[in-house]
Structure 1
Amino acid sequence: MNKTYRIFISHSWKYGDAYDKMVKFLSEHGISYYDHSVPKNDPIHTNGSDEQLHDAIDAKIKGCSGVIILAGVYSTYSKWINKEIDISLLYGKPIIAIEPWASEKTSSVVKNSANKIVKWNGKSIADAIRELF
């Protein structure tokens, strides 16, 4: 019987294709999971306050097994990714940093907070989830 992981996938909806590819990788590599990410259709994204979004992210991370964060250079400048890291560390949640495919520059902020850094590769991501979560 497969374990079902409780995963928070950090993402910016501006880069929604990366989130979609991550979800595909998980399915292709036999990872059964409950998605703790704040969904795109949640009205907090468009109509909520920063405090409401923070509280929603906090609640999602608090109940998850671990956090996946894409370590693209944009992550360094995202106030929300930095808050997700802080919340993850507060609750002792392991963080997997994913280095984007063919990237020359990555986020040292994300990588320095990660328990494991892997490349943008489905098998590597699945192995890291099984190891840490």
Structure 2
Amino acid sequence: MTVYDTNRVYTLYLSHTWNDRGTGGELLRMLQSVDSFRFRPASLDRQTSEAADDRILYEAIRGKIRYADVILILCGVYAEYNRWVNKELILAKNELNKPVIGVQPFPAEKPPFIVKQHADRIVQLHPLDIIKAVMELGQG
């Protein structure tokens, strides 16, 4: 049985990939169902995420990732969101040295190469798997 540090509040940057078909809300509900895990979600608002200017988008993502303990990226929808995902991964790994957790919604599906290449860990879409990875990787 895993014991959680109930005093710690983790800041989780939710990649723009979580905007796909309400999966972000599903993720938040799953994580909130674990009483002893406390977190604060961080993600771009819709208006900022739709910014036409790539530099504005890049700076907005940087501002959110800077304060995150870990980045959660949904595997399997990369092609639809590559404009954001590339920026998120570059910022997380190359500039801000933040851990990236790829979350695999379907076990049989392979994660996109770019996510597999940059993720510190890939886990299944299950709250305890995600929380364990967050706690192990978000210690920085």
TM-score (norm 1): 0.85
Is 1:75 the counterpart of 2:78 in the alignment? Answer: yes
Match of 2:124 in 1: 119
1:56 shift after superposition? 0.5
Secondary structure class of the residue paired with 1:64: coil
Distance 1:71 1:50, change over 3 A: same
Unaligned ranges ≥5, structure 1: none
2: CA distance between counterparts of 1:91 and 1:60?
11
User: 2:105 corresponds to which residue?
Assistant: 100
Any idea what SS the aligned residue of 1:53 has?
A: helix
The normalised TM-score by structure 2 is 0.82
Are 2:65 and 1:61 equivalent residues in the alignment?
yes
Deviations 1:30-84 (A, max 9, x none): 33112221123xx323455222111110111111111010111x31561210110
Partner SS, residue 16 of structure 2: coil
- Following TM superposition, by how much is the alpha carbon of 1:13 offset from its aligned partner in structure 2, in angstroms? 6.7
Distance in 1 of aligned mates of 2:129 and 2:86: 24
Q: Secondary structure at 1:56's aligned position in 2?
A: helix
Amino acid across the alignment from 1:82? N
Would you identify which runs of 4 or more consecutive aligned residues in structure 1 move more than 4 Å? none
Q: Flag structure 2 segments of 5+ consecutive residues without an equivalent.
A: 1-5
Structure 2 match to 1:130: 135
Following superposition of structure 1 onto structure 2, how do residues 23-34 of structure 1 map, counting pairs within 5 Å? 23-30=28-35, 31-34=37-40
Question: Does the CA-based 8 Å contact 1:70-1:97 persist in structure 2?
Answer: yes
- 2:90 maps to a residue whose letter is D
3-state secondary structure, aligned to 1:8: strand
Return the match for 1:11 from 16, 23, 32. 16
CA contact (8 A) 1:8 1:61 kept: yes
Q: CA RMSD in A?
A: 2.0
- Which residue of the partner structure matches residue 3 of structure 2? none
* Structure 1 residues 119 and 44: alpha-carbon distance in aligned structure 2, compared to 1, 3 A threshold: same
- Give 1:101 deviation, angstroms: 2.6
Residues 117 and 19 from structure 1, CA distance in 2 versus in 1: closer, same or farther, beyond 3 angstroms? same
Identity of aligned residues (%): 27
Instruction: Please tell me the residue identity of whatever aligns with 1:70.
Output: L
